[in-house]
Amino acid sequence: MILWLWLFGSIANAIDLNDRLRIELDGGERVEGYFLRAGDGLVVMTRPSRGDVIKVSCAIVSSVEVNGSTVGADRFVLEVEEAWQARLDWIQNAPPVPPAALIGPLNLLIAGSGHAALNRWDVGGSMMAVDAISMTVIGLELAGKGTQRMDVLVSAAAISALFKSYAFSDGLRRVRRQTDRRKLED
């Protein structure tokens, strides 16, 4: 039963990032690649074997295969239009970018916490874990509960400082890039 729901659920959501597409055009030409994003009346695909990105107009699509399943051209065009509208809606209602004055100090407090505020847990989570371990070792050494070796204290402090400095500069770069991108989209 669950398998049937999964199969029908995946067919209902016919287009998603990195779905394999085989598009036949009105002239009989075939284009194969992976879905990257929707555009205004077009679909943007990547072709890793050629190392390029192509745009295909929805007006000349005659038939489509998505991940090996045949999808009607009208349905595919509707899916592309819905994806394009969802992208436009997200751009207009995008969450605000936290200010750099917040991201920098957060990353100096615990490396990666500024990235977490930017909702980049993939980068920030690992930095936070390493910095938290380093700061715990520093605290244990300073309290006399650790190995009481100076090289351990200095190494942990150096690792923490390295991660904090990288997180600080990378966090500010990401804020600046997101702010610039939002200005371009407006």
Judge contact between 94 and 182, C-beta under 8 A. Answer: yes
Look at residues 46, 75, 92 and tell me which one is the last residue of a structural domain. 92
- pLDDT given at position 3: 44
The answer on 165 and 115 residing in a single domain is yes
The answer on 6 and 32 residing in a single domain is yes
- pLDDT given at position 11: 45
The answer on 112 and 64 residing in a single domain is no
The pTM for the full model equals 0.56
Alpha-carbon gap, residue 12 to 63, rounded angstroms: 17
The answer on 113 and 46 residing in a single domain is no
The answer on 19 and 88 residing in a single domain is yes
Alpha-carbon gap, residue 104 to 126, rounded angstroms: 17
Look at residues 69, 92, 115 and tell me which one is the last residue of a structural domain. 92
Domain total for the chain? Answer: 2
The answer on 105 and 87 residing in a single domain is no
The answer on 114 and 158 residing in a single domain is yes
Contacts of 75-78 with CB under 8 Å at 24 or more apart are 75/14, 76/14, 76/15
Domain containing 164 equals: 100-185
Dihedral sign from CA coordinates of 125, 183, 42, 33 = negative
Look at residues 92, 116, 134 and tell me which one is the last residue of a structural domain. 92
Label residues 143-182 b or e (16+ Cβ within 10 Å = b): eeebeeeeeebeebbebbeebbeebbebbbebbeebeeee
| pLDDT tens by residue, the chain, 186 residues | 454 444 444 444 558 888 999 999 988 899 999 999 999 999 999 998 888 999 999 999 999 999 988 888 899 999 999 999 988 887 788 778 889 899 999 999 999 999 999 988 999 999 999 999 999 999 999 998 888 889 999 999 999 999 999 999 999 999 999 888 777 765
Alpha-carbon gap, residue 117 to 108, rounded angstroms: 13
Any residues with CB less than 8 A from the CB of 3 and at least 6 apart, and which? none
